[in-house]
Structure 1
Amino acid sequence: MKYSHYIKESDQYMHSLFMCMDNAWAAEKMYDWENIGDANDAWVKGPYISAGANCPQIDKSHPYCLRVSPSSSKLMGYQIGPNPIFGKNGGVAVGHDSEMIKANVIIPTVAICMQFALLESVDVDMFSLWAKENNVDLSAGLAKRYDRRPAKSRMETLNSLCSAKVSDQCVNAYESVSNFRNKLIHEPQFFCGSPDCAVDVYVVCQAISYNIHQVLYGDCEDAFILHRKSMWVERINAFDEAIEFA
């Protein structure tokens, strides 16, 4: 994977997921009985849905209803099964809103897992290309099974094979992100604490990738990447030790 392509893909995924989050979060506000009234705190800051300028504003004196998509109907049909229990009104309960994981929790959690997957992919791709260009055997020695090793072990391999070195702070950052992603994947009901946390992890992942790129190939000359360099350096330098994201 070309490094600039990784950054663009990382940006695209994050932007798309957060727009999905804002749309879903705003919709959740619209059908919540707790958000009735124009003066309600729910409408102090976004995300929320509003009418355009010079248009009649949305009536917030009552909540709204969500008509689900055919795909969601198919999902619910599978979960309910062939013999659902009908209520007195003839309807079938498909779960209360309070039982759902909110958009501003589940989407940031997914975003972190995707960003880490992209980071690992570009890490392995860059190293594999560097190894080929430098006649390093990927099936033997320090390079063997690079793609299967934990993040810290991969960085130790880079430091053993390359003249430039991955900083201790970058190793700590990679270990921190890796540990957080592992918790999100493997621990039941463990989620990202906030959308801001997901944005921080996204920035840290890009900063780690740039540090690896510098070790293998030097600076990247793309202007749209270089303008982030100072931010990446500052963020990585804050990792004097591995941390726990919240």
Structure 2
Amino acid sequence: MDARAGDGPQGLEVLTAGRSEQDQRRVAGALRARGLGTGDRLVLLCPGEPAYASVVLGAARSGVVPVPLDPRLTAWERERVLDDLDAALVVDDSAALRALLDGPPVDLAPDPLCRPMHFTSGTTGRPKGVWSGLLEPHDARDLVVEERELWGFRADDVDLVVSPIYHSAPLRFATGTLLAGGSIAVLPHFDAAAFVDAVAQVRPTTMFCVPAHLQRLQQHLDETG
């Protein structure tokens, strides 16, 4: 795995699997130093960036459960979710997220020992956490292999994250790419012009998007030629 990390031609950060592996070990060390252990819940309430994926993987590979949440939740919405969680640590800004990358490096399990706990939207009632439990090492390995074969994650992939990374699909694409030895880049938010620039910069091979993204992209291209 390439241990380098750097910027695309216009400054968009590209995180390689090798660099992320180093970061994940430091994240695990930082969580351990804060007293978090197997089954504890780490809430992430911060904007998307490449470090986000490393924090999720560093936690999951040490048995700590990542809980990605929308940082735009209102105080009332946030309180309702957190009241149900019994969170061991809440990370609610980019500085606190990056601080987890400065821990002492420790050994990790080869594969994530749990899936992140994602919350439902709450459109029909109170938001509910979706939790599938901790995995035995052989089950963790089987899950990584299954998803790699299903989605075709490769070591030469560059995944461009264009959807909010706290959603399950874009986060799964990003972490799956890193686990396969590939690289990722993250748009802070979707903007059609920024997306076109990002494609030219980092030459992504994969991304997860929704129809609204494609509609906005087509409109932008129709207007700009």
TM-score interval (norm. to shorter): under 0.3
- Between Structure 1 and Structure 2, the one with more helix by share is 1
Identify, as 1 or 2, the structure richer in strand. Answer: 2
